[in-house]
A and B are shown apart, each in its own frame.
Chain A
Amino acid sequence: MLAVLVLHVLAAVLAPVLVRWWGRTAFLVLALVPATGFGWVLTRLPVVTGGGAVTETVPWVPALDLAIALRLDALALLFALLVTGVGALVLVYCSRYFEPDDDGAARFAGNLTAFAGSMLGLVLADDLLLLYVFWELTTVFSFLLIGGTGTKLAARRAASQALILTTAGGLAMLVGLIMIGETSGSYLLSEVVAAPGSGPFLVAGTMLVLAGAVTKSAMIPFHFWLPAAMEAPTPVSAYLHAAAMVKAGIYLVARFAPGFAEVPGWRPVVLGLGLATMLVGGYRALRQNDLKLLLAFGTVSQLGFLMVLVGAGTRELAAAGLAMTLAHALFKSTLFLTVGVIDHATGVRDLRLLSGLGRRLPVLAVIGGLAGASMAGLPPLLGFVGKEAAFTALWEGGLPDRTAAVLVLTGLVVGSALTAGYTARFLWGAFARKGGLPSTAPAELVHPPGRLFLAAPAVLALTGLVAGPASSLLEPLVAGYADRMPLLAPEAEKLALWHGIQPALGLSALTLLGGAALFAARRRVFRLQRRLAVGASADEGYWNTMQALDRLAVLVTGTTQRGSLPAYLGTILVVVLALPGSVLLFLAPWPGEWRAWDTPIQALVGAVVVIAALLALRIHQRLSAVLVVGVSGYGIAVLFALQGAPDLALTQFLVETLTLVVFVLVLRKLPKDITERHRPRERAVRGVIAVAVGLVMAAAGAVALGARTAEPVSLAYPDAAYDLGGGQNVVNVTLVDIRAWDTLGEISLLVVAATGIASLVFLRRRTGTVDRLDPVRLARQEKRSRRAPRRQWLAASAALAPERRSVVLEVVTRVLFHSIVVFSLFLLFSGHNQPGGGFAGGLVAGFALVLRYLAGGRYELGEAAPVDPGLLLGMGLLLAGGTGVTGLLLGAEVLETAILETALPVLGDVKLVTSLFFDVGVYLIVVGLVLDILRSLGAELDRQADEHDPIETTPGEVIAR
């Protein structure tokens, strides 16, 4: 079973490609997929009619107890035959329905095949949650198929309407399924139906599941999405909205009925809604002029009929229901396909504009006539057999309550009369010659249908014809399902064409007579319906609800989103104060004892940090503010060192310095002062929030520490670091081994940040070309500036204007550059055992580049690092990630360290830890980040200033503020 589903998935993925290669012929190949499924299901027929079931279970999410549990029993087999059989024929039909050069066909093919697979999965699923997954998949593909290319507003609206309604029902159903699963103690459909349990929880769950079935099968008051969905191409209407998807609700009710029909509320809901839907659908169908809409409302009506039959929960009605389901799928998809052929051939679907088509397309008329006869319930077709069975069942039993049975029977007879009436209207409208129109209208056929185009409806119609007399062959299959329900009639009547003269035959004749009368008096009926028409409809109600929701959303958004970042942040912070803050105030265990400090120096440095940070609040000069924050940061570094964290102190010092450099690079472009934009009152509010947040965070830190009783997880780190990670510096081993996943995520973030910076400055490309020295230009420049020193200390400093050069800086850079780079490598390699590592090493190497840039300008930076920073970032990430993959390939965990120790001739004992490569990746990424910053915020800004680069806008481009 699973193989068949997987085949559908593969076909759906390949379908667009196939259609692009072979055009519409590819549909024929795709039709083989459901056909295979059909064949497979047929081979299982003996097992299932013998009373058995085919099951298959593959674990999926064991933690959730979720398995791909598939089960093919009598009910599933019948629906699976429908889904695969009609699916294959519809795909065959598609191969002629689409024009050879139709753009949407590729997409359509994929969606339709995927839908066929989902629908098959839905009827095979034996797990409640799996059923739900397939259920929603059919909804999604239905949305895509109705919406088509999304260029038509009406199609878009119809698609979203169907999606919203069926998903809403589906979500209710999910809740209901979980409630039922929890009550009955099993999530296996077969077990749940066998022993549903009881209680109010079960009743509520059942109602919710019914909500799903009712929306999906377009019962009143959610019926309106189905006619609207007729915006979809005809094959979709024939398959989804006649044979398959709308039957999902019927299937669900049929599936649950054996165990749940006695649940309080089940029969009133199912029978009431079903009957009302049958009558309303039939009544509406009678006044449609569009052939496709007529069929759509007819489908609504028939779905109501089927819902009554399969939902009653008795043996005789269930058997009639299955026969009728089969009959309906056959005749309704035939009729839709017939309309598709008419539409294709004439370009018209309005029955007021068609005349004399029956003579011109006789084969089509015979096909449509057969299907119509089945729909109206004429012998010897399958529709007649199903309807007879239903009438007989209700005449003698069918429902526990006799009054209800009579009521339902009356409703069904009236509904069937309406059915016969609109069937006659359909056949007359499609094929007959009409007064008031020329004998042939429209005068010319655009596309006369070919043989292959007619093949699918012909096969379906003939099946309906043959299945009538042969309906006794269906009996074992139908009985396999229906025998699980109580029999109320005196004896079980087998499915057959002829049962002799009996009351049901009279009722059938009555419906046909009623239908004929409705058709004969069609003008009067039409006028009456027009007079009775009311302005309100469920569809209007739906759109009004949607609009109200929309307005509510705008209202809420408009009230809460005022567009001010400080206001948003303020709100967030106030919530922090209100929730965690009040918990802290009232519930937190305050520490019993306090220490003044770890060392007195800590207090001293702490005071410096705080004073510097507070100074930043009042300073208006940009650079000074940055500097005092820098001082505060250096103070933090000292605090780190005092706490016993040399790695942190080192990194903090380096980063603080680099931050200052980057600030200066940008601030040189900005005005000196920060403009004050806040009124005193705003400042006061900010102050209150700030102080309160400060108090809460201080208290939170203290309380958290005071409340700690568990042993830290890091107690085992030192031993693990040395034994498993092969390093003495526990912090570094933590970074590159114990918590390497975290680090991998963090360095990825650095790559993103670097890319973001570059793209903000370079805008149209990742980075500019590396600014290299141009000898010609250099010579020209040297000629101009004769006073410049001949002796060069740096490669490209000659390119700088003489007044911007500093010999001292050049000399110092020349002397220090290589030493700094070597030192950074030392930090990288020794980091595993001593303070250092990839982060610190990379920052130091970045410093070397900063020095070169400051001393020699942008050309010097190009000479110092003639590589694309993106290359460094990418290689770093590749190296770090590659280390993880290598570990995996060697059979260990991802990112697990291997220690290689060997004695080499000259070097002596060499110990190589594979996490070193990870650290090299980190190093490269940090260097890449610094280089990217220098290249964008340094060199590129210089270039823009040098070349008086205007803001890069093309004419007509508007910068929105």
Chain B
Amino acid sequence: MTPTVVLPVVIGALYAAGVYLLLDRSLTRVLLGFLVLGNATNLLLLSSGGPAGLAPIVGYAEPAEMSDPLPQALILTAIVITFGIASFVLAIIYRSWRLVRQEVVGVDEEDRRVARRSGSDADEIDPDDLAPEDRSAAHADTGVGDEDVVARLERDYAGIPSDDVDLPPTRRRRR
């Protein structure tokens, strides 16, 4: 099929505008970008149906003259869904504004926390670093026996009074 010049140009320009808006930190602009991208995609789908034709209504046009109905059906629902999602994002914008007087996509603190994290969960750390009562029973005889615990504590925590054997309960290696 032969493509037109006009539709790809319009599609490309809309995509460019949409992407530029989408990469903004302001949620309003992100939403506008989303709408523009939606329009661009709908147009792209429509253009894939081939050249313009008559409305696909039996009786009004012969099947040969009709424009392709399949992309139209897909686009129709896409339009309404874009509306639903846009309203949802608007509700988010409103919520964000109401809570913190901002409508920006901030830095995700959770991601930053993960990046800063260096230790492991208790479920994964070395058994030697666990409190004795949390160690598996099988660990008792690996390496050193339980009789040596007091001696080891004295060695590892020299200077701490010996009756403070519970201090500190979990020891992590310095990294």
Contact = CB atoms under 8 A, between A and B. Distances in A.
B44 interface: yes
Nearest to A161: B136
A953 to B, nearest CB: 9
Contacts of B39: 609, 613, 632-633, 636
Contacts of A648: 42, 46, 72, 75-76, 79
A559 B111 CA distance: 10
Which secondary structure dominates chain B's binding surface? helix
A622 B161 CA distance: 68
A674 B24 CA distance: 11
Given A610-B10, A629-B32, A697-B15, A746 B81 contact: yes
- Chain A CB count within 10 A is highest, among B1, B58, B88, B103, for B58
Interface in A625-662: 625-626, 629, 632-633, 636, 639-640, 642-648, 651-652, 655, 658-659, 662
The 7 closest A-B pairs by CB, nearest first: A698-B12, A694-B16, A558-B115, A227-B138, A563-B111, A644-B67, A753-B84
B123 A157 contact: yes
Interface in A517-575: 530, 533-537, 539-540, 543-544, 546-547, 550-551, 554, 557-559, 561-566, 569-570, 573
B5 interface: yes
Q: Which of B63, B69, B77, B134 has its CB near the most chain A CB atoms (within 10 A)?
A: B69
A728 B3 contact: no
- Say which size band chain B's interface belongs to: 35 or more
A919 to B, nearest CB: 12
Interface of B: 1-26, 28-29, 32, 35-36, 39-40, 42-44, 46-60, 63, 66-70, 72-77, 79-88, 90-95, 97-100, 103-112, 114-118, 120-128, 130, 133-145
B20 to A, nearest CB: 4
A699 B3 CA distance: 10
B165 to A, nearest CB: 19
A714 B70 contact: yes
Of A606, A662, A677, A734, most buried by chain B (CB within 10 Å of CB) is A606
B20 A224 contact: no
B54 A647 contact: no
A767 interface: no
A960 B46 CA distance: 44
B77 A609 contact: no
Contacts of B86: 659, 662
B40 A224 contact: no
A553 to B, nearest CB: 9
Nearest to B66: A718
A718 B58 contact: yes
Contacts of B43: 636, 639
Contacts of B100: 959, 961
B42 to A, nearest CB: 7
B36 to A, nearest CB: 5
Nearest to A644: B67
Interface string A582-604: 00000000010111111100110
A643 B46 contact: yes
Contacts of A889: none
Nearest to B44: A701
A290 to B, nearest CB: 6
Given A625-B32, A643-B67, A731-B72, A756 B91 contact: yes
Interface string A739-762: 100110010011001101100110
A598 B13 contact: no
A573 B7 contact: no
B158 to A, nearest CB: 20
Contacts of B72: 645, 647-648, 731, 734
B11 A698 contact: yes
A715 B63 contact: yes
Given A698-B15, A718-B69, A936-B91, A597 B126 contact: no
A839 B80 contact: yes
B152 to A, nearest CB: 12
Given A559-B115, A598-B6, A708-B48, 16 more contacts: A533-B141, A539-B138, A540-B128, A561-B108, A566-B105, A597-B4, A609-B14, A613-B18, A632-B36, A651-B76, A670-B97, A677-B24, A686-B20, A729-B57, A754-B84, A961-B99
8 contacts: A160-B123, A228-B138, A231-B137, A563-B110, A566-B24, A614-B17, A639-B10, A697-B11
B37 to A, nearest CB: 10
Contacts of B50: 705, 708, 712
A612 B120 CA distance: 53
A554 B117 contact: yes
Nearest to A554: B117
Contacts of A629: 32, 35-36
A599 B53 CA distance: 11
A427 interface: no
Given A598-B51, A613-B13, A694-B13, A157 B136 contact: yes
Contacts of B123: 153, 156-157, 160
B73 A652 contact: no
A701 B1 contact: no
Contacts of A728: 57-60
A153 B128 CA distance: 14
Nearest to B126: A543
Most chain B beta-carbon contacts within 10 A, residue among A559, A573, A714, A754: A714
A270 interface: no
A547 B67 CA distance: 61
A906 interface: no
A244 B83 CA distance: 58
Among B60, B99, B120, chain A packs the most CB atoms within 10 A around the CB of B120
